[in-house]
Chain A
Amino acid sequence: MGNNPLLRLEHIGKEYYGNRVLSDISFDINAGEIIGLVGENGAGKSTLLNILFGMPVIASTGGYEGSIQIDGRKVSFTSPNQALAHGIGMVHQEFSLIPGFTAAENILLNREVLNASSMRYIFSERVSTLDREAMNGRARSAIHTLGVNISPDMIVSEMPVGYKQFIEIAREIDRKNTRLLFLDEPTAVLAESEAEILITALKKLAASGIAIVFISHRLSEVKELCGRILVLRDGRLITDQPSYTLSTRQIASLMVGRESVRREETPEVTETVSTETDAPKKKKKIRPALKVEHLWVDMPGETVRDVSFEVMKGEIFGIGGLAGHGKLAIPNGIMGLYPAGGTVKTFGKKLTLNKPRAALGKKMAFVSEDRRGVGLLLDEPLDWNITFTAMQTQGRFLVGIPYIFQMRNDLAMRKEARKFIDQLSIKCTGPSQKAGELSGGNQQKVCLAKAFVLRPDILLICEPTRGIDIGAKTLVLDTLKQYNKENGTTIIITSSELEELRSVCNRIAIVDEGKIAGILPASNPAEDFGMLMMGQVRNEEEGEFSA
């Protein structure tokens, strides 16, 4: 091997449809090193991983720039199997285990130990029987390496979540040639004690010569485990330095910090808005437009447990936080799309939860983050998409006698649709074009139009700019601001992009691990939000960690 590092990246860059997501990433990884890779959602971590693993999505969108070297030899993977063959292992965030199989069967999935069979040439190796003894032995030794005690015969579906994570890692370890292991948020599902065992195990693993790249949002763990920390932000490598030279606060600010970018305009705080910092007296007089108390929502992958906050009339309220921590569940739960509990009051009146109709009846409108899944009727024309909700809940765009016989008024629908097509400049052939044929940005505008048609008092929007290009982004955000100013509508925006929230909102709540970590005025420095997102505030309060 000589002096060549195990893995060397040189000037890696990547563009998706003219959208730059990675630029000029260069770093080395040596055998036995543990490297922490941190960054916000959308900082480019997953794209980097996709490139390293030769995911087909990279090649199909035009490949990447720069070069990857392993042991000093240039490589370029076109499929994950090639990466595996070169000794790069990966543990994904979501489990890819077969629930009905035992630990051993999962660890050795598709790498089973086989008895030699005389028929293997006639058919293929697949007709050979499995050597259970040898499989259990190998599984046991892989689990043993991790320093935990799990029986190879245990069925995965009967395991606690923490065990499953160990099985995933054991699977990668069992690969004979694994030299470099990527772990994507391995501790997210683990309890404190399990996480500690994992960290010890990883250190042991690194000592045996396997290099580890550890991706996590738990900065304290990153700092404890990793020798070097790489911070990615906006597709750039911001820093690459030994972890002892950085405090968690510094890491957090490097991740989100955009101190250099001064915000040009602070959104004007209208008089009706009361924040925690100013005018505490006024707060009592003005009834909040939306009051949420002890809300829990059971949304898969985005559960929130106990959320309370208030939104004033006419305010633009932001909800931020990392993906998977539950921010999306709040608006979805309020609108009744997922099982929820707690109390929600609009203008002082209690809202029935778990019934979309009830929320819509209170003049609330919702723009879903899942445009294609929930937001649109892809197979139906635009006028249907725009007016359907208003028709069903408010009885508009209908002719006839209510409750007895009502036909839809296609003419009125088309007229309304045309109005919004002009207003939001939706690019389409007309109101009868199918929604599925539009581009992402225009689909988002259709979703907004659908909400505006309802003439809402409270507008809840999830990820308003996800998957749309820059031009459309500004337009969507401007439209929202304008709508808020003109109609005094209360708007609640949920977004992963902090900067976006800071540019439009009055106040921003940060959700971390299913709870609200804090609510701050948007004018606070980005660093403060970063610390909230990383869960540092809580840790500091609990005295477990001091920077």
Chain B
Amino acid sequence: MIKKFIENAGWPRIIIALFLLALFVAAPFVGVRVDTSLSNTLVRFGMNGVMVLAMIPMVQAGCGLNFGLPLGIIAGLLGATLSIEWNSEILAKLSELGTLYKISWLNDLFLTTWREPIGFASAIIIAVPIAAILGWFYGKLLNRVKGDEMMIATYVGFSSVSFMCIAWLLLPYKHPTMVWGYAGKGLRTTISVEGYWLHVLSDALALDINTENIHLYVPTGMLIFFAFVALIVWIFMKTKTGTAMTAVGSNPEFARASGVNVDRMRTIAVMMSTILGAVGIIVYEQSFGFIQLYMGPFYMALPAVASILLGGASVNKAGILNVIVGTFLFQGILTMTPSVINSYLQTDMSEVIRLIVSNGMILYALTRKVRAGR
């Protein structure tokens, strides 16, 4: 029974889970509050969850781990910045709509309570088509290089990020909160989303207990949003297309013999991954409070990849459960190690531990014997 469980979960996962558990147990003894740690973990979980979800379609369709996540993130960044750039125009257009149909209360809502949700929604609405287009090209590219997807994805991600570095400087953004003050052009490296859609999901329905003994903050809205996206992915994987996608990843020859268009399924999967990446970064930003441009998205793929692998996924099989478990474990370790280890050893080892755990996990997945035929 226990043996079976260990076999299913895999040693690295169990060790890391036990390590995390030990950290939580040890926390009170070194003066770290468990409740705030837990809150932090939950916040980080919600922030990163959607980006980790973006791994699922590509892994399931046999395109390997999506090291090209930065491409999706770029779409998200474009959506985010454009939503701020056009924020007032969008709101004006919407309130015009309200005036047109003589619904003044709607008009008020647009300009007050709904202002921020509309900003957030517009970011996503702008980002998704961009992500879909980028994903389509990216998918076509990956179909041509079957067998080498991961390495190429990595460098497609890198080169797109560095390409966008030039673009951020040159694109004709005008909004004063976003461009460099002295030059009047070129976007800043970090842009605050305060006043636009800061914590628009995190604070919705948030549970915030702040008494003398307990400080607990649960970003309910963000968690619900994550659950909602996860549900969509889950349902999608159960549709006819989703089933075909899984079969393509499991055995492309079988899928082809069953009349499935393998390349098309892979393209759809890549597009989905890219779109989820775009949505993921916007969710991340609304909680984080800043849009990080330029080299910001550079290494964002690695934590997401490590999370899903930590959750028990392999290079060609991944599910929602893997995402939830993996993200929680990974973010838990990220939250707990700095506080607990640092108070114990009086040194900041979190960065090093993050490097070793996340890359060790990816390495473990890459060197595991994959089934024959691959």
B235 at interface by CB-CB < 8 Å: yes
A335 at interface by CB-CB < 8 Å: yes
The CA-CA distance from A392 to B373 in the complex, in Å, is: 23
B259 in complex: contacting residue of A357, A378, A398, A436, CB < 8 Å:
A357
B254 at interface by CB-CB < 8 Å: yes
A391 at interface by CB-CB < 8 Å: yes
- The stretch among A26-34, A114-122, A368-376 that forms the contact with chain B is A368-376
What residues of chain A lie closer than 8 Å to B317, measured between beta carbons? 379
Distance from A131 Cβ to chain B, minimum over Cβ atoms (Å)? 38
What residues of chain B lie closer than 8 Å to A388, measured between beta carbons? 243, 247, 254, 258
CB-based contact B257/A377 at 8 Å? no
> Taking A372-B372, A378-B371 as contacts, is the C-beta distance between A407 and B253 under 8 angstroms?
no
> Taking A373-B373, A406-B240, A407-B238 as contacts, is the C-beta distance between A360 and B251 under 8 angstroms?
no
CB-based contact B259/A377 at 8 Å? no
CB-based contact B240/A391 at 8 Å? yes
CB-based contact A337/B235 at 8 Å? no
A321 at interface by CB-CB < 8 Å: no
The CA-CA distance from A368 to B261 in the complex, in Å, is: 18
Chain B 214-253, CB within 8 Å of chain A: the 1/0 string?
0000000000000000000001001110011011001101
Chain B 248-273, CB within 8 Å of chain A: the 1/0 string?
00110110111111000000000000
Q: Which residue of A lies closest to B258 (CB)?
A: A389
Chain A 10-35, CB within 8 Å of chain B: the 1/0 string?
00000000000000000000000000
Distance from B61 Cβ to chain A, minimum over Cβ atoms (Å)? 14
A379 in complex: contacting residue of B238, B260, B371, CB < 8 Å:
B371
B244 in complex: contacting residue of A366, A392, A410, CB < 8 Å:
A392
What residues of chain B lie closer than 8 Å to A540, measured between beta carbons? none
What residues of chain B lie closer than 8 Å to A436, measured between beta carbons? 371
A393 at interface by CB-CB < 8 Å: yes
> Taking A360-B258, A407-B235 as contacts, is the C-beta distance between A373 and B253 under 8 angstroms?
yes
A296 at interface by CB-CB < 8 Å: no
What residues of chain B lie closer than 8 Å to A372, measured between beta carbons? 372-373
A499 at interface by CB-CB < 8 Å: no
A123 at interface by CB-CB < 8 Å: no
Residues 364-411 of A at the B interface (beta carbon under 8 Å) = 366, 368, 370, 372-380, 384, 388-389, 391-393, 395, 398, 400, 405-408, 410
The CA-CA distance from A356 to B238 in the complex, in Å, is: 23
Q: How many residues of B contact A (CB 8 A)?
A: 23
What residues of chain A lie closer than 8 Å to B238, measured between beta carbons? 407-408, 410
CB-based contact B253/A374 at 8 Å? yes
The CA-CA distance from A380 to B249 in the complex, in Å, is: 11
Distance from A408 Cβ to chain B, minimum over Cβ atoms (Å)? 5
Distance from B234 Cβ to chain A, minimum over Cβ atoms (Å)? 11
Q: Which residue of A lies closest to B241 (CB)?
A: A406
Chain A 326-368, CB within 8 Å of chain B: the 1/0 string?
0000000001010000000000000000001100110000101
The CA-CA distance from A398 to B240 in the complex, in Å, is: 7
What residues of chain B lie closer than 8 Å to A389, measured between beta carbons? 257-259
What residues of chain B lie closer than 8 Å to A405, measured between beta carbons? 239
The CA-CA distance from A408 to B235 in the complex, in Å, is: 10
Q: Which residue of B lies closest to A387 (CB)?
A: B243
The CA-CA distance from A368 to B251 in the complex, in Å, is: 14
Chain B 72-116, CB within 8 Å of chain A: the 1/0 string?
000000000000000000000000000000000000000000000
What residues of chain A lie closer than 8 Å to B250, measured between beta carbons? 377-380
What residues of chain A lie closer than 8 Å to B256, measured between beta carbons? 337, 356
The CA-CA distance from A104 to B286 in the complex, in Å, is: 67
CB-based contact A356/B258 at 8 Å? yes
> Taking A380-B247, A388-B243, A405-B239 as contacts, is the C-beta distance between A374 and B259 under 8 angstroms?
no
What residues of chain A lie closer than 8 Å to B258, measured between beta carbons? 356, 360, 388-389, 392-393
CB-based contact A392/B240 at 8 Å? yes
What residues of chain A lie closer than 8 Å to B260, measured between beta carbons? 392
Distance from A332 Cβ to chain B, minimum over Cβ atoms (Å)? 9
Residues 123-180 of B at the A interface (beta carbon under 8 Å) = none
Known contacts A392-B258, A406-B240, A408-B243; 11 further A-B pairs (Cβ under 8 A): A360-B259, A368-B257, A377-B251, A378-B371, A388-B243, A389-B258, A389-B259, A395-B240, A398-B240, A407-B239, A408-B240
A-B contact pairs, 9 of them (CB 8 A): A361-B259, A368-B257, A374-B251, A374-B254, A377-B247, A378-B250, A378-B251, A389-B259, A407-B240
Name the 6 nearest CB pairs between A and B, nearest first.
A357-B259, A389-B258, A374-B253, A406-B240, A360-B259, A377-B250
